[in-house]
């Protein structure tokens, strides 16, 4: 690539009651001990998932791309995504590499209350400009341009279809690379956010995928489980857009 320089808790709530025949002269055996177990309780997620979205570009209408977790090999595109007890209001983004620079109007942060429902509905909206074969992805609504909004939220309802803004007329929605991933917050202790970044040398264009979309060639491994993932799982791309390992990453976020 030539356009950038770096390349449940379960509590066995055991209520044990023992009935013993203690009356003098009572006939027959004493009743057996009774083992009564309360239903298992899932570990509850708590606090806020502060999902930071950082946008970079080489020029105003050429080669945008986004990061949502800090790339494994290039911290100049870092983000502040984390879980904490407080809600973040401003995106924390790296400075870029001098070629690709931040686009503050497309930055964003969404503080997701993890106690607000059972499902974390991550919604990825891909936007495309055919004139320059440029595309970029949003997971949260940019702070400076709501035309690229997403429906990412925590709720008690699974959402399998993304809700995406209309774009600005230059960059328009691209359904083939957009998607919605409903993650069950009771399914494990860790949110594993997999970020997969691809680059086309022919088109001089990056793209980012965090949520599976209809085009499975770019499928990331984002999940909730009891295991903390340490390596990103990414599709191989389409042969034109190929994976950029230095910009790809996984961030495992404890949910409580």
Give the pLDDT score at 121: 98
99 has a pLDDT exceeding 80: yes
Q: Which of 38-42, 49-53, 56-60 has the lowest mean pLDDT?
A: 38-42
254 and 220 in contact (C-beta within 8 Å)? no
| pLDDT, tens only, 110-146 | 999 999 999 999 999 999 999 999 999 999 999 999 9
Q: How far is CA 120 from CA 92, 138, 149, 187, 221, in A?
A: 22, 16, 17, 11, 15
According to DSSP, residue 5 is labeled: S
According to DSSP, residue 109 is labeled: E
Residue with tokens 């085009």: 215
Confidence of residue 34 (pLDDT cuts 50, 70, 90): very low
Instruction: Determine what percent of the chain is predicted with pLDDT higher than 70.
Output: 83
34 and 18 in contact (C-beta within 8 Å)? yes
Mean pLDDT of 162-180: 97
Confidence of residue 40 (pLDDT cuts 50, 70, 90): very low
| pLDDT, tens only, 205-240 | 999 999 999 999 999 999 999 999 999 999 999 999
Confidence of residue 44 (pLDDT cuts 50, 70, 90): confident
Which region holds residue 156: left if phi is over 0, alpha if psi is between -120 and 50, else beta?
alpha
37 has a pLDDT exceeding 70: no
Residues contacting residue 169 through CB under 8 Å, at least 6 positions apart: none
Confidence of residue 195 (pLDDT cuts 50, 70, 90): very high
Better pLDDT: 60 or 140: 140
Mean pLDDT of the chain, nearest integer:
87
Element holding 195 (H helix, E strand): strand 190-200
Which of helix, strand or coil describes residue 73?
A: coil
Give the pLDDT score at 212: 98
Give the pLDDT score at 59: 87
Instruction: Determine what percent of the chain is predicted with pLDDT higher than 90.
Output: 81
According to DSSP, residue 30 is labeled: P
Number of H helices, E strands in the chain: 0, 17
pTM, whole model, 2 decimals? 0.83
Confidence of residue 42 (pLDDT cuts 50, 70, 90): low
Q: Which of 62, 208, 10 is nearest to 125 (CA)?
A: 208
Q: Which of 198, 204, 177, 168 is nearest to 58 (CA)?
A: 204
Q: Which of 8-17, 134-143, 155-164, 234-243 has the lowest mean pLDDT?
A: 8-17
Mean pLDDT of 11-21: 36
Confidence of residue 43 (pLDDT cuts 50, 70, 90): low
């Amino acid at each position: 690539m030539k356009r950038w320089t770096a390349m449940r808790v379960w509590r066995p709530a055991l209520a044990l009651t023992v009935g013993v025949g203690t009356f003098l002269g009572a006939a027959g055996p004493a009743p057996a001990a009774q083992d009564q177990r309360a239903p298992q309780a899932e570990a509850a997620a708590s606090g806020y998932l502060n999902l930071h979205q950082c946008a970079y570009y080489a020029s105003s209408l050429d080669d945008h791309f986004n990061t949502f977790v800090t790339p494994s090999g290039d911290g100049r595109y870092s983000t502040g995504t984390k879980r904490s007890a407080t809600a973040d209001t401003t995106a924390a983004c790296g400075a870029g590499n001098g070629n690709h620079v931040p686009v503050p109007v497309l930055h964003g942060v969404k503080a997701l209350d993890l106690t607000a429902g059972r499902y974390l509905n991550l919604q990825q909206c891909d936007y495309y400009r055919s004139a320059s074969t440029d595309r970029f992805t949003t997971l949260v609504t940019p702070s400076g341009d709501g035309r690229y909004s997403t429906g990412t939220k925590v709720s008690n309802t699974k959402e399998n279809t993304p809700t995406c803004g209309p774009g600005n007329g230059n960059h328009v929605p691209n359904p083939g690379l957009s998607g919605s991933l409903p993650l069950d917050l009771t399914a494990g202790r860790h949110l594993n956010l997999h970020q997969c970044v691809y680059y086309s040398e022919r088109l001089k264009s990056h793209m980012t995928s965090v949520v599976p979309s209809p085009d499975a060639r770019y499928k990331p491994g984002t999940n909730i489980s009891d295991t903390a993932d340490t390596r990103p799982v990414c599709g191989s791309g389409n042969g034109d857009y190929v994976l950029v390992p230095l910009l790809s990453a996984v961030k495992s976020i404890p949910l409580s």
